[in-house]
């Protein structure tokens, strides 16, 4: 499958009319459909891990490269958040509950160089996505280990995923295994293949270039919880 076929395919689809109840209208970005489902979308197979060897590598513009075992991450102070999430394929899920380590708290363990202004999240299936460091410093940015009071399922990113609720959810990478700090921004997988570099849902920053809405039927046919 050609890498950019997803972006091109969803650009060609018909766009349905979307009505959002007035009481939640300020929480739902343009062109989104609110669902109780949690659709499962990703590229490639769901990975399997030997947790005795799994680690999270931190590298790039840091004073010292570090590696964390899952047990070390579990031992860190955890935070619970409730947030709305928005997928570029048009669905939004409100009031989702997560638990994990705030990214800004995790940074206390890392000596990031002043020039390390950008972050690349490296995940399994050779996936990567880029986010400015300042976008990861908020109250709801989480290295998540649990969803809805239970450990993450493999299909939703176990053992570790990022949650960046103010950006389209492709930025919230599943199966994180590396965090790279960078001097300059560098596009990730989808950003190189037709998707917007910033990904603000309320600005409908879905694609690079012309903003073209995505219809709901891209995700309705997918597996979901």
Asked if residue 112 is part of any domain, the answer here is: yes
Helices (H), the chain: 5-12, 70-74, 103-106, 217-220
pLDDT at 84: 98
pLDDT at 43: 72
Q: What is the domain-level CATH number for residue 66?
A: 3.90.420.10
Asked if residue 165 is part of any domain, the answer here is: yes
**Higher pLDDT pick, 44 / 4:** 44
Asked if residue 108 is part of any domain, the answer here is: yes
Is residue 8 scored above 70 in pLDDT?
Answer: no
Contact 179, 119 (CB under 8 A): yes
Asked if residue 170 is part of any domain, the answer here is: yes
pLDDT at 216: 46
CA distances from 58 to 63, 68, 143, 168, 180 (A): 11, 8, 13, 24, 6
Is residue 1 scored above 70 in pLDDT?
Answer: no
Could you give the number of structural domains in the chain?
Answer: 1
Query: Which domain does 60 fall in, by range?
Result: 46-83+94-207
The Cα–Cα gap between 55 and 176 comes to 9
Mean pLDDT, the chain, rounded, equals: 88
Give me the mean pLDDT over the 104-125 stretch: 97
The Cα–Cα gap between 170 and 162 comes to 10
pLDDT at 11: 56
- pLDDT tens for 28-76 read 999 898 999 898 887 788 999 999 999 999 999 999 999 999 999 999 9
Asked if residue 62 is part of any domain, the answer here is: yes
Q: Count of alpha carbons within 13 Å of 191, Cβ hemisphere only?
A: 19
Contact 185, 198 (CB under 8 A): no
List the structure tokens of 184.
Answer: 């300059």
Is residue 14 scored above 60 in pLDDT?
Answer: no
Is residue 86 scored above 70 in pLDDT?
Answer: yes
Asked if residue 214 is part of any domain, the answer here is: no
- pLDDT tens for 122-165 read 999 889 999 999 999 999 999 999 999 999 999 999 999 999 99
Sheet with 66-69, edge to edge strand ranges: 66-69, 55-60, 176-182, 118-123, 127-132
Asked if residue 37 is part of any domain, the answer here is: no
Q: Count of alpha carbons within 13 Å of 80, Cβ hemisphere only?
A: 8
Asked if residue 197 is part of any domain, the answer here is: yes
pLDDT at 10: 53
Q: What percent of the chain has pLDDT over 90?
A: 73
Q: What percent of the chain has pLDDT over 70?
A: 84
């Amino acid at each position: 499958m050609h890498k950019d076929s997803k972006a091109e395919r969803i650009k060609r689809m018909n766009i349905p009319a979307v009505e959002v109840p007035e009481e939640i209208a300020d929480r739902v970005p343009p062109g989104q459909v609110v669902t109780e489902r949690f659709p499962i979308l990703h590229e490639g197979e769901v990975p399997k891990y030997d947790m005795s060897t799994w680690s999270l590598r931190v590298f790039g513009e840091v004073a010292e490269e570090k590696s964390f075992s899952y047990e070390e991450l579990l031992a860190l102070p955890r935070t619970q958040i409730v947030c709305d999430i928005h997928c570029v394929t048009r669905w939004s899920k409100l009031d989702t509950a997560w638990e994990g380590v705030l990214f800004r708290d995790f940074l206390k363990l890392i000596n990031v160089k002043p020039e390390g202004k950008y972050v690349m999240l490296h995940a399994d299936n050779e996936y990567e996505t880029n986010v400015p460091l300042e976008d990861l410093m908020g109250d709801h940015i989480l290295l998540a280990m649990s969803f809805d009071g239970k450990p993450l399922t493999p299909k939703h990113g176990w053992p570790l995923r990022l949650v960046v609720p103010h950006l389209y959810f492709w930025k919230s990478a599943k199966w994180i295994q590396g965090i790279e700090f960078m001097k300059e921004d560098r596009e990730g997988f989808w950003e190189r293949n037709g998707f917007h570099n910033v990904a603000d849902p309320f600005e409908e920053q879905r694609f690079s270039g012309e903003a073209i809405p995505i219809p709901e039927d891209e995700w309705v046919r997918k597996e979901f919880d």
